[in-house]
Structure 1
């Protein structure tokens, strides 16, 4: 039975690595996964899912106008797909999360989404909010703070490593802009 999964975490917990491992597992068994990633994150090349440990895969791009259900319906008319894997799923819109539920319910294809739960201000991303509400299975991928506690918050930093408390929700970056920390160190850093 196909289901919608949401694998979520703070930054640097291995979401892309886990996605790439899942894609490999499907391929190793002779199955055909399809990989999507957000068009706005092109740090490692356009149409690429890349992990910090060096694994990568080609991917189809989505932006806030992409109709994922229609796209998957067209793909499945051409070839059989056994799984949909979505990286950077926090950037999905509410409508796109609904479309992914349609992929699961109507096309009967499992969908595995990987993304951040919250932004640097501790607020849910739109895609994450609806995945948390509508997914059949929620899986938290864990990473740790510098103190050893579970990191569940993200701090955005400036070019000098100082915490930033305000700004646009989306600013693409990696370890150069973001640090995953526990809630205690998040509050300390931002004096909340």
Structure 2
């Protein structure tokens, strides 16, 4: 006997296997996101960090602003266009998980984190941020420079590249003196690009608050009384150490 063509036909095995049942969807844990926004100096990372915080706060979310060694020398996120917001300084010894959990213990909300100068975080602190995103549904937005003055990844930036859900270059053009796109941060001492010295040296266009008159070596490079500047260069001129005809450019980072 031939089956009636109007009879329901059996579904192919596994036809709907890619669509979980409602109960299975509810059982799937919700995770926060760990994002890393990166770029060279002057590309607007801190400005973007403050904008992201503003947008979330407008929607009623409560965030925590963190910073590691802001250029101003103060516990704040500061943009070179003049916008600043108070922030919590995160030293190398700080456990970011405990920092957030202590807020929760006091009955305060923390829906998201804004972390500026994230390249200076330790690898362990980046792991802690990932744990907060995965296990506590905290959205984490990190902003920082990817590579140091030698063109190598900072430890914190390297770990973020390894763990972040999203890597987003900041889309603001920064130009080398030659007019090409620049993404390397060269350290300049006495008008010359240097390749050796301390990896971490916070500097700004004003006299650094951490240095005083008469310091023998503020550069960490063994150069007594020298002024340290940072210049953003394209790869070719970074590789050649070529600063163009004008070594000092107004608005570039300096440490006197």
SS of the counterpart of 1:172?
coil
1:32 to 45, 62, 73: 62
Is 1:136 aligned to 2:136, yes or no?
no
Equivalent residue, structure 2, for 1:126:
155
CA apart distance, 1:46: 2.0
Within-5 A mapping of 1:26-105: 26-38=56-68, 40-41=69-70, 43-77=71-105, 78-105=107-134
Give the total of aligned pairs. 188
Q: Which protein is richer in strand relative to its size? A: 1
CA apart distance, 1:103: 0.8
1:4 to 5, 10, 34: 34
- Distance of 2:114 and 2:202 partners within structure 1: 20
Q: Which protein is richer in helix relative to its size? A: 1
CA apart distance, 1:47: 1.0
State the Cα deviation string for residues 112-136 of structure 1 (Å, max 9, x = none): 0001100000111110000000000
CA apart distance, 1:165: 1.7
Are 2:72 and 2:204, in contact at CA under 8 Å, matched by a contact in 1? no
- Distance of 2:94 and 2:45 partners within structure 1: 22
State the Cα deviation string for residues 84-134 of structure 1 (Å, max 9, x = none): 000010111111000000110111010000011000001111100000000
State the Cα deviation string for residues 128-162 of structure 1 (Å, max 9, x = none): 0000000000001142222232212111112x432
State the Cα deviation string for residues 32-58 of structure 1 (Å, max 9, x = none): 1110001x44x4242111000000000
Moved over 3 A (4+): none
Equivalent residue, structure 2, for 1:188:
240
TM-score by length of 1: 0.91
Greater relative contact order structure (CA < 8 Å, 6+ sep): 1
Is 1:153 aligned to 2:194, yes or no?
no
CA apart distance, 1:10: 1.1
Taking only aligned residues, the RMSD between alpha carbons, in angstroms, comes to: 1.7
- Distance of 1:177 and 1:171 partners within structure 2: 10
Of 173-182 and 16-25, more deviation after overlay is shown by 173-182
Structure with higher Rg: it is 2
Are 1:73 and 1:107, in contact at CA under 8 Å, matched by a contact in 2? no
Structure 1 residue runs of 5 or longer lacking an equivalent are none
